[in-house]
Structure 1
Amino acid sequence: MREYFNKATQLYLEGKYEEAIKYWEKVLEIDPDHELSEQKIEKAEKMLEKQREGR
């Protein structure tokens, strides 16, 4: 689980938000109560939206 979380974080920092979300979702499959992953997904979704808007 930690590997998925760390990979997601790395992808997020590289601006690869969609890929990062997929890895955080894998964390949630293992531990549905992992709040930090839920928070990170929300943040990544916002960044992805901004990216799509061209900001």
Structure 2
Amino acid sequence: MSDTPTNIRAHQGEQTLELIWDSGVVSRLPYRYLRAECPCASCRNEWTGERILDP
């Protein structure tokens, strides 16, 4: 069984996304990290995987 977020909150001042998991663990991920890890074709070259956008 995978852990599922029970609550997701954006903290604009801290530029983080907070995820509260059903296990009770709280994760805070910086927006910059999320942008850097984005696998979509708008953020990465579809063929090489090279990052297109500089977060």
Shorter-normalised TM range: under 0.3
Higher Rg:
2
Q: TM-score, normalised by structure 2?
A: 0.24
The structure in which a higher percent of residues are helix is 1
Higher relative contact order (CA 8 A, sep 6+): 1
The structure in which a higher percent of residues are strand is 2
